[in-house]
Amino acid sequence: MPRPSKRMEKLGPYLFSAIGAKVREMKAKGFKVISLGIGDPDVPTPDPIVLELIRSVTDVNDRDRFRYGSDWPLDVFPKAVSEYYQKRFEVELDPNTEIVSLIGSKEGIAHIALCYLDPGDIALVPEPCYPVYKTGALLALAETYPMPLLPERNWTPDFSEIPKEVLKRAKLMWLNYPNNPTAACVNLEFFNEAVEFAREYGLLICHDAAYVDITYDGYVAPSILQVPKAKEVAIEFGSLSKPFAMTGWRIGWAVGNAEAVRLLATVKDNIDSGIFRPIQRAGAKALQIWCQEPSFIRPLVETYQRRRDLVLNSLRKAGVSVQPPKGSLYVWSPIPEGFTNSQEFANFLLERAYVAVTPGGGYGQAGEGYFRISLTYPDDIICEAMRRIESALLKI
């Protein structure tokens, strides 16, 4: 067998498999471990979307329905994305040049690196962050430079801290709000600042907007494309996965700067052949329903808000004070006093409460001192887990 590539040496398994291994080991020993670690909605995709899939997959009049998904002229999905951007953000997008459909946004997030990064180039990535921003750079044999997210700056990076030598080699800058894992939310002012910075230093901003429609307490999250002229320097990644509970369907988009969209589409045309057509139709249906009736996803969002409050109340009872997040599917909490780091606390919860959470330190130094709880588990499971956490903490 040949030796695996240098990429593979660096790539390693996907995030936090160490915790995963420990959970499996404890489960094998018979412990009833509850995991609150992963952000993958437990609720089903709403019926009208499922029914559109069934309709289109069985539509014998559509003789093209099983053909490659990338082939012209099936444009129902990009058109629906453009309609959604108009209605949701009042942003105009040309479905032909400013939208590319993705096999889930993760796919595009990884592939955009191949469009811009050569060895020696740099992608600026927030720390902590969704790991795929780094993966893309790594696969392109490029480098990443961490922009620490600071609690005192509401978990936004301080652009003025990035050294000029780094900026000379930087091409991409990743942002993600509402944020995973910190649950931080921003207003348009912050995006304004980011766009200005990107224009000054010739960067492409890659904004990951996966949670833009999962927000609470009346907060409405902006798109970076609402900033005037943002299209000159930004591409935004979106997904049906979280707002419509469609993680397994694999459908999302990238929109904005036409050149970036074209390059990403070129990489994809050379690697994949598109999304299964009935899934494109069902995805379009999801967005069309949203455009007619934005409250369509309210029950889903209310479910997460109820769970968020459950987790917050319980943490407070146990003496941990957390700000209620205004968006995302996560509670990002400081570890209680008396623990030296997030890994120690995660181990404590696993061994004493049989609950697995994500230690913030797993995301790098800037995440240290925090842990993440995901709200994508049934209410009764979350209740039981929080009861166990409370009692373990009150015992010490």
Ligand X SMILES: *Cc1c(COP(=O)(O)O)cnc(C)c1O
Residues that bind ligand X (CB under 6 A): 39, 104-106, 130, 176, 180, 208, 210, 239, 241-242, 247, 252
CA distance 183 to 246: 20
Rounded CA-CA distance 111/349 in Å is 37
User: Which residue's CB is nearer to ligand X, number 314 or number 374?
Assistant: 374
Spatial neighbors of 95 by CB under 8 A, at least 6 apart, are 75, 78, 79, 81, 82
Nearer to ligand X, 105 or 135 (CB): 105
State the DSSP code for 95: T
Q: Min. distance of Cβ 390 from ligand X in angstroms?
A: 27
The residue among 111 and 171 lying less far from ligand X, judged by its C-beta, is 111
- Structure-token match 């912050």, residue found: 190
Q: Is 175 helix (H, G, I), strand (E, B) or coil?
A: strand
Query: How near is the Cβ of 4 to ligand X at its closest, in Å?
Result: 25
CA angle 166/171/172 to nearest 5° reads 105
As measured in angstroms, the least distance from the Cβ of 88 to ligand X is: 17
Question: In the complex with ligand X, which residue's Cβ is closer, 174 or 348?
Answer: 174
- Which residues are paired to 281 by β-bridges? none
Distance CA 37, CA 379 (A): 15
CB of 81 or CB of 320, closer to ligand X: 81
CB of 200 to ligand X, least distance (A): 26
Place of tokens 């592939």: 111
3-state secondary structure of 88: helix
Q: Which is nearer to ligand X, 95 or 104 (CB)?
A: 104
The least CB distance from residue 119 to ligand X, in Å, is 26
Q: How far is the CB of 176 from ligand X (least distance, A)?
A: 5
Length in residues, the chain: 396
Cβ of residue 367: shortest distance to ligand X, in angstroms? 14
C-beta closer to ligand X: residue 212 or 349: 212
Q: How far is the CB of 209 from ligand X (least distance, A)?
A: 8
Q: Which of 24, 47, 81 is nearest to 223 (CA)?
A: 81
Smaller CB separation from ligand X, 156 or 239: 239
Q: What is the DSSP string of 16-55?
A: THHHHHHHHHHHHTT--PEE-------SPPPHHHHHHHHH
Residue 236 CB, shortest distance to ligand X, in Å, is 12
Closest listed residue to residue 173, CA positions, set 108, 136, 116, 123: 123
DSSP code per residue over 264-314: HHHHHHHH-----HHHHHHHHHHHHHHHH-GGGGHHHHHHHHHHHHHHHHH
Minimum separation from the CB atom of position 340 to ligand X (A): 28
Nearer to ligand X by Cβ, of 39 and 136: the residue is: 39
Identify the sign of the CA torsion 388, 178, 296, 99. negative
Residue 56 or 105 with smaller CB distance to ligand X? 105
Least distance between ligand X and beta carbon 362 (Å): 15
Q: Which amino acid is at 238?
A: G
Report the alpha-carbon distance of residue 27 to residue 274 in Å, rounded: 39
- Of 348 and 371, which CB lies nearer to ligand X in the complex structure? 371
Cis amide linkage into residue 128, ω under 30° from 0? yes
